[in-house]
Amino acid sequence: PIYLDNHATTRVDERVLAAMTPYFLEEYGNPGSVGHLFGEAAREAVEKARESIAAGLGAEASEIVFTSGATESNNLAIRGILGQRRRRGDHVISVTTEHKAVLDPLAKLGRSGFEVTLLSPQQQGAANAGQIDPQQVADALRDDTALVSIMAANNEIGVLHPIAEIGRICQERGVPFHCDATQAVGKTPLDFHALGVDLASFTAHKIYGPKGCGALYVRKRGKRIRLEPQIDGGGQEKGVRSGTLNVPGIIGLAAALRLCLDEMATEMPRQAQLRDQLLAGLQSAIDGVTLNGPECTPQLRLAGNLNVSFAGVDGEALMMNVREIAVSSGSACTSANPEPSHVLQAIGLSEDATRSSLRFGLGRFTTAEHIEFAVTHVAAAVSRLRKLVKPT
């Protein structure tokens, strides 16, 4: 089978695994242990990793808080800032196409007295379908807005939001800006400080690192962002996030990010070219293939993302008919619930078009042969399924 579901997760790169291995077998100390060499070695390794991650993302080491992944980072950012007694008010701005790890905490807060404004992005058909216009944010800001939360890149349609402009608007109004950067980190250059982002979530397993380890960037320079801790205990991470640090995971996150940044300039054009070949191949092999979301340009869309609908074919059925290719219908991140994709519906796709969609996620290990294989097999499955449903 071939793997084209790299937005859901990625294979760990051997080089990342090699960097992690000593921290399971040799340097297995608890970084919180003082007074012995094992603890010191682990602590030193974690701090080196923290510096390396910060340097790669326009942050300072003291601005990185390690977590169990982007879901936790999003929850810590949102609940942490809104849980403070000294916040500006009870109004929050976000977008209808955010990940559930943002939308669900916001919905819960909405039920407990916060007012949540969800902006609606550009609709399907526009060149920048799925994108938020910074003016929408400016128009929605109020004196009691306590947080703006907008992702850098969408996990279903790969659209890139204008984070720098949104950051500037939030800074001018003095409103904290959280960015779920999970899908963008390692794939587009990001400098959180320069972008005007105050809080940013990311995770290792989307960038060829291990599952269960992520981080939250928390701005300290200029305006110091304070968070109400969501997990209390041993006081690790300066009390913001208690719990023994996942040392191998943290080493893996740092190694994974470093590799992505080192290889980005050649790797992203390579993936974009393969993605374009995949779209062209599907469209020439079968009729009724439409691109969902924005145009395939580096300014608008993640290089490895393709989301398409196959007219008259059910995406779930299609997936079942191409078992040798791992793709996703809707969002794998929420595959526990079989609802049609909220992202595609939010950009105006009909329920039929939404149900007939597949998301392809190309990655570091995707080759031209994989793309050819996918085109052949998907095209064959689509024709098969269309014959089945054709009226006699």
User: Which residues would be at the binding site for ligand PLP (CB under 6 A)?
Assistant: 69-71, 99, 101, 151, 155, 180, 182-183, 203, 205, 214, 333
Residue 310 in tokens: 């196959």
**Beta-carbon contacts of residue 317 (< 8 Å; ≥ 6 apart):** 385
Strand order in the sheet with 305-310: 289-291, 305-310, 357-361
Least separation in angstroms between CB 67 and ligand PLP: 9
CB 78 within 8 A of CB 101: no
Best CA proximity match to 309, nearest among 334, 277, 341: 341
170 is catalytic: no
Q: Where are the alpha helices (DSSP H) in 224-350?
A: 247-285, 315-321, 342-346
Angstrom distance (rounded) from CA 131 to CA 97 = 9
Output the CA angle 367-371-377, nearest 5 degrees.
Answer: 140
Give least dist CB 203 to ligand PLP, A. Answer: 3
Q: What is the DSSP pairing of strand 145-149 with strand 115-119? A: unpaired
Q: Are the C-beta atoms of 156 and 309 separated by less than 8 Å?
A: no
Measure the CA angle with vertex 172, ends 168 and 175; round to 5°: 90
Residue with smaller CB distance to ligand PLP, 101 or 190: 101
Please state the closest distance from residue 16 (CB atom) to ligand PLP, in A. Answer: 15
Strand partners, 93: 117, 148
Could you tell me the smallest distance in angstroms from the CB atom of residue 132 to ligand PLP? 15
Minimum distance, C-beta of residue 57 to ligand PLP, in the bound complex (Å): 16
Q: Which are the catalytic amino acids?
A: 333
